[in-house]
């Protein structure tokens, strides 16, 4: 037996060698091509061996095996698992037809794989899901297909509820009982649309979906008060929350930490609806809250806020000034943002450059530059405000002032030719000045910068459809008279005779969901700068009690007193004013 040896690569390909011209470029090119062919062949052998090892591993652990290197996977199928989840846990959905779903995994021992499959099972009830073992190379090839999913996921995130759907739901869901029954009959996609539609029909600002031990409770916040709309079997919870998370772009396999997302729903000619989604771990499942931000709800103008005519005229003069600071105060949910947006709508014109700094941006305002802070990236209110001042604005709105740096920068802006609008968290208007001084702001800067402070709350309006006269208790009448008698003589407001007031309340009807109220209106207290107020601020030492006495002497009508005047006018009830305000 003889052994044939090769002294060079050229001996393997004698025909190519004969074509040579004695060396040079052709010989080098031939060698490179030959080496490339060998490398390609070796890579193919390596991958084949790799796949064979994976197939053997699958057999040993009792799993099915598949090579996805050339398997046709549609974007709709691969998108059933988010790319982030797929890459983190090396899992791919590669096939779905009718009620059959196939999922490939590289590491079946990953503890999160079971949770992901369980979520898929709940989200696609009735599907038979089979798990396949795939190689790392197989996964690497398949995961590239997410590039084709981008457009599909945009469509998924921007859910469209048509006008026809809303009309159908309005006719179908005529009561909470029907709503609860229908939710248990439809798939989770339709259930999600039903919940949003019911909330819109009821005029809800927030939807709360909470898992309890034996049931799931759906509540809607209507005119500031939560109302139970449905109680569902706890078995529906995982399927429902999986759908919500998928649409909101949240991780469906993570339930141990809070998550935040956003959904945009197109409402046809009615505009769009932005939904802020928040999840929070709880004892029996996650609590989910939707904040509904309807674009058509921001058209409120300054003169529609419900202020007393004298207060409105005084504040209007301050808003029209080219510089200074206007502050709104009150707790969360008191309508501060609505008031600021109403002022911005009034001031918004082509000759004004308006910039806002918000956390988050709740409504998009045409013609206004809106910037959203991001604490995780170090983009804070104070940093953003300094940047805004370099953008040559005329009017600036800052979502809130909480620290000295933001307060001082805002005051500097107000003193250098800008109109500054912002909010501060205090119980009433009298607390704003002590709060600024408590932050470390000097009175010599605050006094000339401050134009006006607005304290406010929201009270529910009496439902016009079921409005009926009634007689309050003697105790309520006594308290009302005390509040009205305390209205300052120099306020310009006429004190009504309580004994002559015709009191009204709603008895409850379908239009108001049996609450007796429909819609809300603000009650306000507003003070502008006076000589006494300015002198007290300049002293740098003033308590909230002192400010209240000063503002009373200045003729300010308090929120409670404004509320009583609205009771006299038949706008709201004594119960509502007593619920949210003090004298």
Condensed to tens digits (0 to 9), the pLDDT of residues 230-283 reads 998 888 888 888 888 887 878 877 788 898 888 877 666 666 778 889 999 988
**103 touches 131 (CB < 8 A):** yes
Say whether pLDDT at 8 is over 70. no
How many CA atoms, within 13 angstroms, populate the side-chain half-sphere of residue 290? 29
Give the bridge partners for 526, in sequence order.
454
Helix (H, G, I), strand (E, B) or coil at 31: helix
pTM check: above 0.85 = no
Going by the DSSP 8-state scheme, the letter that residue 16 receives in this structure is H
pLDDT at position 166: 56
Confidence band for 122, pLDDT divided at 50, 70 and 90:
low
How big, in percent rounded to 5, are the helix, strand and coil portions of the chain?
45, 20, 30
Say whether pLDDT at 224 is over 50. yes
Burial class (CB in 10 A: 0-12, 13-18, 19+), 197: buried
98/83 Cα distance (integer angstroms): 23
Burial class (CB in 10 A: 0-12, 13-18, 19+), 231: middle
Q: Where are the domains of the chain?
A: 9-43, 64-147, 163-297, 299-459+521-557
Say whether pLDDT at 399 is over 80. yes
**491 touches 499 (CB < 8 A):** no
Q: Give the residue with greater pLDDT, 288 vs 71.
A: 288
First to last CA, the chain: 114
Q: Give the architecture-level CATH label for domain 163-297.
A: 2-Layer Sandwich (3.30)
Say whether pLDDT at 58 is over 80. yes
| Nearest by Cα to 370 from 342, 350, 391, 351 | 391
Q: Give the architecture-level CATH label for domain 64-147.
A: 2-Layer Sandwich (3.30)
Tokens of 373: 């802070």
Phi, psi of 100, rounded to the nearest 5 degrees = -110, 125
Say whether pLDDT at 477 is over 90. yes
Helix (H, G, I), strand (E, B) or coil at 172: helix
**226 touches 220 (CB < 8 A):** yes
Say whether pLDDT at 449 is over 80. yes
Phi, psi of 134, rounded to the nearest 5 degrees = -130, 155
Q: Which strands form 324-329's sheet, in the order they lie side by side?
A: 369-372, 354-358, 395-398, 419-424, 324-329, 450-462, 517-528
Q: Please write down the long-range contacts of 270-274, taking CB distance under 8 Å and 24 or more positions apart.
A: 270/163, 270/296, 271/295, 271/296, 273/196, 273/200, 274/362, 274/363
**187 touches 194 (CB < 8 A):** no
The beta strands (E) that lie in 400-552 are given as 419-424, 450-462, 467-469, 504-506, 517-528
Q: Is the peptide bond before 222 cis (omega within 30 degrees of 0)?
A: no
Phi, psi of 542, rounded to the nearest 5 degrees = -155, 135
234/213 Cα distance (integer angstroms): 7
Neighbours of 112 (CB within 10 A): 14
What's domain 299-459+521-557's superfamily in CATH?
A: P-loop containing nucleotide triphosphate hydrolases (3.40.50.300)
Say whether pLDDT at 480 is over 90. yes
Helix (H, G, I), strand (E, B) or coil at 397: strand
């Amino acid at each position: 037996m003889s052994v044939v040896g090769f002294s060079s690569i050229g001996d393997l390909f004698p025909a190519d060698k004969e074509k040579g011209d004695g060396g040079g470029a052709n010989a080098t090119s031939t060698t490179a091509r030959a080496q490339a062919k060998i490398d390609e062949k070796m890579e193919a052998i390596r991958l084949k061996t790799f796949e064979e090892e994976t197939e053997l591993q699958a057999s040993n652990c009792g799993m099915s095996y598949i090579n996805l290197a050339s398997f046709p996977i549609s974007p709709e199928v691969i998108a059933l698992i988010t790319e982030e989840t797929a890459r983190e846990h090396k899992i791919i959905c590669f096939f779905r037809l009718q009620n059959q779903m196939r999922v490939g995994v590289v590491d079946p021992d990953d503890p999160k794989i079971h949770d992901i499959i369980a979520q898929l099972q709940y989200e696609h009830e009735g599907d038979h899901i089979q798990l396949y073992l795939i190689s790392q190379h197989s996964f690497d090839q398949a995961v590239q297909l997410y590039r084709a999913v981008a457009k599909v996921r945009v469509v998924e995130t921007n859910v469209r509820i048509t006008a026809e759907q809303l009309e159908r739901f309005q006719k179908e869901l005529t009561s909470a009982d029907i709503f609860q029954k229908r939710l248990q009959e439809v798939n989770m996609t339709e259930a999600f649309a039903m919940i949003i539609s019911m909330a819109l029909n009821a005029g809800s600002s927030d939807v709360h979906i909470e898992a309890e031990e034996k049931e799931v409770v759906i509540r809607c916040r209507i005119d500031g008060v939560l109302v139970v709309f449905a109680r569902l079997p706890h078995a529906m919870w995982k399927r429902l929350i999986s759908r919500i998370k998928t649409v909101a772009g949240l991780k469906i396999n993570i339930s141990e930490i809070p998550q935040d997302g956003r959904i945009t729903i197109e409402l046809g000619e009615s505009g769009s609806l932005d939904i802020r989604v928040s999840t929070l771990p709880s004892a029996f499942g996650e609590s989910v809250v939707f904040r509904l931000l309807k674009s058509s709800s921001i058209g409120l103008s300054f003169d529609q806020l419900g202020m007393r005519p004298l207060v409105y005229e005084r504040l209007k003069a301050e808003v029209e000034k080219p510089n200074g600071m206007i502050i709104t105060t009150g707790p969360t949910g008191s309508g501060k943002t609505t008031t600021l947006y109403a002022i911005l709508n009034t001031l918004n014109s082509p000759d004004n450059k308006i910039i806002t700094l918000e956390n988050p941006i709740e409504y998009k305002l045409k013609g206004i530059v809106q910037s959203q802070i991001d604490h995780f990236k170090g983009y804070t209110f104070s940093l953003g405000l300094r940047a805004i001042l370099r953008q040559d604005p005329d009017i600036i709105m800052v979502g809130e002032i909480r620290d000295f740096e933001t307060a001082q920068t805002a005051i500097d802006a107000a003193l250098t030719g800008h109109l500054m609008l912002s909010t501060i968290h205090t119980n009433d208007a009298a607390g704003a000045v002590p709060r600024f001084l408590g932050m470390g702001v000097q009175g010599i800067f605050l006094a000339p910068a401050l134009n006006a402070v607005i304290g406010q709350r929201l009270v529910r309006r009496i439902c016009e459809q079921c409005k009926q006269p009634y007689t309050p208790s003697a105790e309520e009448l006594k308290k009302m008279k005390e509040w009205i008698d305390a209205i300052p003589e120099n306020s310009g407001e006429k004190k009504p005779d309580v004994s002559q007031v015709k009191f009204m309340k709603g008895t409850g009807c379908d239009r108001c969901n049996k609450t007796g109220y429909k819609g809300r209106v603000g009650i306000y207290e507003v003070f502008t700068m006076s000589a006494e107020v300015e002198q007290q601020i300049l002293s740098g030492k003033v308590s909230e009690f002192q400010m209240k006495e000063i503002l009373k002497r200045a003729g300010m009508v308090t929120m409670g007193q404004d509320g009583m005047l609205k009771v006299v006018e038949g706008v709201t009830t004594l119960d509502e004013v007593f619920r949210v305000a003090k004298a």
